[in-house]
A and B are shown apart, each in its own frame.
Chain A
């Protein structure tokens, strides 16, 4: 019984899980509030969940882990900044329209009641086509480097971030809250989303248990919906073909599946999910981080899904959920508990050891299973 559980769960998850449990138990003794910690873990889970989900399509289609996640994130950032840029203008137009034709319901819905959720939705709606185009190009590139996807993906991520560092400065954004105050142009490094769509998901249907613990229901439901969409997609004819491509491309080809097309679709999906993921992250975090912000975003997501038990060519929704929870749990708990105990800031060190260690572990596992 126990052995089967260990076999199913795998040692890394059990060790990390026990470590996490230990941290929760130790927390009260060093003066850390368990409720706050739990709350933080849950919020961070919701924030990062979608970005970890973005790993699934590419892993399943045999394109490896999506180290090129920054590309999707950039699409998301474009969506987010553009939604802010156009927000005021659209709102004033709507107000004009409402005044002109005496459409009070227009004001009611768009300007007063649902302004924030609609702003959030608009960010996603703008980000998706951008992500689809970038993902399509990215997929074409990955089809040319079969076997080395992960290394190429890493550099796609890095170089796209660097390219966007220039673009953020040059793009003709005008909105006063977003551009540098002294020059009047060029986007700032961090842009607050307060007053736009800060916490739209976190606060939706939130259930307050006590002062330190609130369940961010809306965000969890949003994650669940996206996860459900991915789950259903992987069960469609295309999703099945995609999985077969990842499992054995030769088999898929002999069965009449267009391998390159499936891989491209998977990359597009991953990129779109990355774009949605960062917007979810920002609404909870409160800021849009530009420039070097997305640079290392791929690593925690990669580490999470590996921690959840995925390999470089098999990943499931369960891997995402377990992995994100464990990884974010470690991330929230170690600074508070270990720092209170050691009186030094170890959080960054531990975060790096866990995330990079997990990536290393998973990659060596791939070599062992290598054909």
Chain B
């Protein structure tokens, strides 16, 4: 790494980490020199956050059994057990979520707990805790920290009144005000910034690096990585894939390294979409379905036009797409870009607008009952929060929605007096327990007592019990083990084949989508970045995910 004999600023060797027997990092080794900027990239779940947590001594690491390997700073081994130790060693971290106090000014936030104090009698008698603040000195210090970044923010401005971009600068200013900061971790600092703000930030970071601070820059925007960083470290599935100078890589190469799993498996049996050929139809992206095809198949099962959904953390801005009857349609993309907002919005769980047509007929938005009574079923990504009644038995969980929407599993006269038919409920539950191989003691076991995979199967059973014509599924395999994963995916495929049900799967795992779906739409920043046949090479998806405007057009698989 270093051609002279001095040891690097930070050196990681063979870092590994397991959470409850689930390996998330293995054998990560790289080093950072003073004044270097390293780009750290990887998909969601590649292990970036875990790596940061280890470096920053987050308690979650120690409480789950520590980590493997060793960390050296200036050649000396260190082992942080709390963030304070990491701070003392000169490591600064800017998190994805702001950790600022909204009601405080920029100055107060930057100098929080490092305030400039006035000496007084009181502080001699008691302690520093009672001394007053030297506002002027604080103002100047904050100002100089902000100026280092090359932006113009009034230090007396209250944080809650700032635009998002400013807040990001304040976060960074806070880290560089700390005199001993030598290594700065930035976790997606540009995600919330506008393009000009991002540019200013990049310039500021370069300046900082020149002053001798090493920077680890995490971003999903590969062009920024290319521009800013001298070296790129790619993580995938907890492994270090590459560590090489950024000049040697194109953004396309980085994307394919990140997404990985070479596109060999699919290419054999599906005709490869020739990129050259379709690349002429640039604008097909925004109107996914070409005109002539629409005439052939008059009414898509689901047509979404200019949908917006206000789901916190997953905002959908303007999304249009068509799903054909009997198709398995995938929605992928990075976390926080709005892919989960689409099904949640269609099902009426979050405020939404735009037009959704179901078999040609307009669907009322913002009312779950409207969507459900049109024979749509939904499996939520939030299994324990939305998907299940944890305190109720399995038969309740499975039959409740069908009972409320379709009036099944009831005895008595409709609209006048109906009591639930416990026997029918149990039988329905038993049917699904057998067919989906749900491991439980019986229909009366409480849903909260099952394992993640079996809970997911209960969620599927709930959806199947509605006998849906369209099934929307979010993150079908999140948090469940591999065996259950395959079973869940196979069940979906089978259900699609047997009943001709249109299925829309939303998942963070691209590979999973590509293996199950006919077509996959990639969502970026609340919009559809592109729709590709599942057989397209992985790097095409990777590029779309990274927000690179590749000229890729979709082509129908049917």
Whether A and B are associated in the same complex: the answer reads yes
Contacts from A to B (Cβ < 8 Å): 232, 235-237, 240-241, 243-244, 247-248, 250-251, 253-258, 313-314
What's the minimum C-beta distance from A297 to chain B, rounded to whole angstroms?
Answer: 29
Question: A237 near B387 (CB under 8 angstroms)?
Answer: no
In the assembled complex, B451 has its CB within 8 A of some CB on chain A: no
In the assembled complex, B400 has its CB within 8 A of some CB on chain A: yes
| Binary A-proximity of B370-382 (CB < 8 A = 1, otherwise 0) | 0111000010101
Contact pick for B372, options A232, A237, A255, CB 8 Å: A255
A237/B420 contact (C-beta < 8 A), A255-B368, A255-B401, A256-B369 known: yes
A248 to B392, CA, bound (A): 10
Most chain A C-beta atoms within 10 Å of own C-beta, residue among B378, B401, B407: B401
A255 to B380, CA, bound (A): 11
Give me 18 other A-B pairs in contact (C-beta within 8 A), A255-B400, A256-B404 excluded: A235-B420, A236-B417, A237-B403, A237-B407, A237-B418, A240-B420, A243-B392, A244-B389, A248-B391, A251-B387, A253-B349, A254-B378, A254-B387, A255-B372, A255-B401, A255-B405, A256-B369, A314-B391
Contact pick for B400, options A236, A240, A253, A313, CB 8 Å: A240
A253 to B382, CA, bound (A): 13
Question: B419 near A232 (CB under 8 angstroms)?
Answer: yes
Most chain B C-beta atoms within 10 Å of own C-beta, residue among A240, A243, A250: A240
* B347 contacts across to A, CB distance below 8 A: 254
28 A-B residue contacts at CB 8 Å?
A236-B419, A237-B403, A240-B403, A240-B404, A241-B404, A243-B392, A244-B392, A244-B396, A247-B391, A247-B392, A248-B385, A248-B386, A250-B382, A250-B385, A250-B386, A251-B386, A251-B389, A251-B400, A254-B386, A254-B387, A254-B401, A255-B372, A255-B400, A255-B401, A255-B404, A256-B368, A256-B373, A256-B405
Smallest CB gap from A256: residue in B: B369
A117 to B400, CA, bound (A): 42
Smallest CB gap from A238: residue in B: B418
* A248 contacts across to B, CB distance below 8 A: 385-386, 388-391
Question: B389 near A237 (CB under 8 angstroms)?
Answer: no
What's the minimum C-beta distance from B206 to chain A, rounded to whole angstroms?
Answer: 45
Q: Which 6 residue pairs across A and B have the least CB separation, nearest first?
A: A256-B369, A255-B401, A250-B386, A256-B372, A247-B389, A256-B368
What's the minimum C-beta distance from B474 to chain A, rounded to whole angstroms?
Answer: 11
In the assembled complex, B73 has its CB within 8 A of some CB on chain A: no
A313 to B390, CA, bound (A): 13
In the assembled complex, B200 has its CB within 8 A of some CB on chain A: no
| Binary A-proximity of B401-438 (CB < 8 A = 1, otherwise 0) | 10111010010000001111000000000000000000
Q: Could you tell me the dominant secondary structure of chain A's interface residues?
A: helix
A240 to B418, CA, bound (A): 11
Most chain A C-beta atoms within 10 Å of own C-beta, residue among B372, B380, B420: B420
* B400 contacts across to A, CB distance below 8 A: 240, 244, 251, 255
* B420 contacts across to A, CB distance below 8 A: 235-237, 240
* B372 contacts across to A, CB distance below 8 A: 255-256
Question: A256 near B391 (CB under 8 angstroms)?
Answer: no
* B382 contacts across to A, CB distance below 8 A: 250
* A247 contacts across to B, CB distance below 8 A: 389-392
* A250 contacts across to B, CB distance below 8 A: 382, 385-386
* B371 contacts across to A, CB distance below 8 A: 256
What's the minimum C-beta distance from A177 to chain B, rounded to whole angstroms?
Answer: 42
A256 to B400, CA, bound (A): 10
What's the minimum C-beta distance from B426 to chain A, rounded to whole angstroms?
Answer: 14
A256 to B371, CA, bound (A): 8
What's the minimum C-beta distance from A361 to chain B, rounded to whole angstroms?
Answer: 20
Question: B410 near A237 (CB under 8 angstroms)?
Answer: yes
A313 to B417, CA, bound (A): 26
Interface residues of B in 473-523 (CB under 8 A from A): none
Smallest CB gap from B392: residue in A: A247
What's the minimum C-beta distance from A238 to chain B, rounded to whole angstroms?
Answer: 9
What's the minimum C-beta distance from B345 to chain A, rounded to whole angstroms?
Answer: 13
* A251 contacts across to B, CB distance below 8 A: 386-389, 400
A241 to B382, CA, bound (A): 20
What's the minimum C-beta distance from A123 to chain B, rounded to whole angstroms?
Answer: 27
A121 to B418, CA, bound (A): 27
A154 to B206, CA, bound (A): 60
What's the minimum C-beta distance from A362 to chain B, rounded to whole angstroms?
Answer: 16
What's the minimum C-beta distance from A147 to chain B, rounded to whole angstroms?
Answer: 15
What's the minimum C-beta distance from A313 to chain B, rounded to whole angstroms?
Answer: 8
What's the minimum C-beta distance from B154 to chain A, rounded to whole angstroms?
Answer: 38
What's the minimum C-beta distance from A323 to chain B, rounded to whole angstroms?
Answer: 20
A156 to B552, CA, bound (A): 63
A257 to B382, CA, bound (A): 18
Question: A236 near B404 (CB under 8 angstroms)?
Answer: no
A235 to B409, CA, bound (A): 12
What's the minimum C-beta distance from A256 to chain B, rounded to whole angstroms?
Answer: 3
A10 to B371, CA, bound (A): 43
Smallest CB gap from B385: residue in A: A250
A44 to B396, CA, bound (A): 37
A217 to B385, CA, bound (A): 46
A358 to B142, CA, bound (A): 54
* A232 contacts across to B, CB distance below 8 A: 419
Most chain B C-beta atoms within 10 Å of own C-beta, residue among A232, A240, A250, A254: A254
Smallest CB gap from B410: residue in A: A237
A241 to B410, CA, bound (A): 13
Interface residues of B in 279-321 (CB under 8 A from A): none
* A256 contacts across to B, CB distance below 8 A: 367-369, 371-373, 401, 404-405
Contact pick for B419, options A235, A243, A313, A314, CB 8 Å: A235
What's the minimum C-beta distance from B403 to chain A, rounded to whole angstroms?
Answer: 7
Smallest CB gap from A235: residue in B: B419
Most chain A C-beta atoms within 10 Å of own C-beta, residue among B371, B403, B419: B419
A31 to B332, CA, bound (A): 79
* A244 contacts across to B, CB distance below 8 A: 389, 392, 396, 400
Smallest CB gap from B373: residue in A: A256
* B410 contacts across to A, CB distance below 8 A: 237
What's the minimum C-beta distance from A355 to chain B, rounded to whole angstroms?
Answer: 26
A236 to B387, CA, bound (A): 22
What's the minimum C-beta distance from A366 to chain B, rounded to whole angstroms?
Answer: 13
Question: B404 near A257 (CB under 8 angstroms)?
Answer: yes
What's the minimum C-beta distance from B379 to chain A, rounded to whole angstroms?
Answer: 10
What's the minimum C-beta distance from B470 to chain A, rounded to whole angstroms?
Answer: 15
Smallest CB gap from B379: residue in A: A254
A269 to B472, CA, bound (A): 37
What's the minimum C-beta distance from A358 to chain B, rounded to whole angstroms?
Answer: 21
